[in-house]
Amino acid sequence: MTRLRAPRFGGQVRRLLFAALLWLALVEQAWAAAVVAGVSLANTSALSVYTTGSFTPAANDLLFVFFKVTGTAQAPTVTTSTSIAFTQVAASGTVEYAFVANSLATNVSMTVSVDVTGAAGTGIALSVLRVSGMTNTGSAAVVQFDIDTGLAAATPTVTFASSVTTSNPTVVALNNSTNPAGMTAPTNWTERHDIGFNTPATGLETASRDSGFTGTGVTWGSNSASAWTAIGVELDASAPAGGAPSLLPLLGVGERPANDNRARWREAG
């Protein structure tokens, strides 16, 4: 008597479950971006290169820098002592700048420098933020930005052109002519630095939100005591195009060993 026996799928099911769990972990990691303070600098010296104190980022942190340099119209460049270069994201004339790193950091002590060689500045207020959970770098790490300005006694706001993706972090900075800036961070945003210097009086406040924002407008929680400029940036926490591995090979779809008969019916007597 001849009977048919079904193949054993135990190993295939285990591979399927493992692949599904791995895929979910990759997706979760792509959404797990978080912002913390790195280092800040407030310096009133006339210099061509301004350098922060040492700090140690976590491995694979993306560095983001906001700053204002006074007394110069020289286009700045930003680098770290470990040779990370930066791309300019936004600039309000020569008043306030935002730069993002072109590569992820390593877990070593480093400094950040702003170079205005050619026309020395008279002072700087600078905030370095560390963003974990990012894979995109440079201009690819930025979805959109907005710059707004206003007069004293007004409540600062930045307004993005499009709604922010809920899983993306947002970073904002405001500079004014008050030392320190003395602002209340927007609701649900966390203040990272509130610094400044005198001669001329200059303030800089930075804040961030890791996720959960789906609107367009970010409004500070207080009025500015002096005229202000604000920059808001949405970062892209998704995986780069083609960066995530295909799920199909993990499921065994595609190539199959020639002697793999587990997906066939076989005859047994």
Task: List the chain pLDDT tens, one digit each, 269 residues.
Answer: 555 555 555 666 666 666 655 555 555 554 589 999 999 999 999 999 999 999 999 999 999 999 999 999 999 999 999 999 999 999 998 889 999 999 999 999 999 999 999 999 999 999 999 999 999 999 999 999 999 999 999 999 999 999 999 999 999 999 999 999 999 999 999 999 999 999 999 999 999 999 999 999 999 999 999 999 999 999 999 976 555 444 444 445 444 444 444 433 334 44
Taken as a whole, the chain contains a residue count of: 269
The helix (run of H) or strand (run of E) holding residue 23 is helix 10-30
pLDDT at residue 200, as a whole number: 93
List CB contacts of 70: < 8 A, sequence separation 6 or more.
Answer: 121, 122, 123, 124, 200, 202
> Which tokens go with 73?
């119209």
Q: Is residue 258 part of a domain?
A: no
Q: Is residue 2 part of a domain?
A: no
Q: Is residue 135 part of a domain?
A: yes
pLDDT at residue 22, as a whole number: 59
Residue-range definition of the domain harbouring residue 230: 32-235
Q: Is residue 88 part of a domain?
A: yes
pTM over 0.85: no
Q: Is residue 106 part of a domain?
A: yes
> Which tokens go with 163?
């709604």
Q: Is residue 3 part of a domain?
A: no
Distance (Å, whole) CA 103 – CA 75: 21
pLDDT at residue 4, as a whole number: 54
Largest CA distance in the chain: 100
Q: Is residue 6 part of a domain?
A: no
pLDDT at residue 205, as a whole number: 98
Q: Is residue 256 part of a domain?
A: no
Query: How many structural domains comprise the chain?
Result: 1
Using CB atoms within 10 A of its CB, is residue 248 exposed (0-12), middle (13-18) or buried (19+)? exposed
pLDDT at residue 249, as a whole number: 46
pLDDT at residue 240, as a whole number: 60
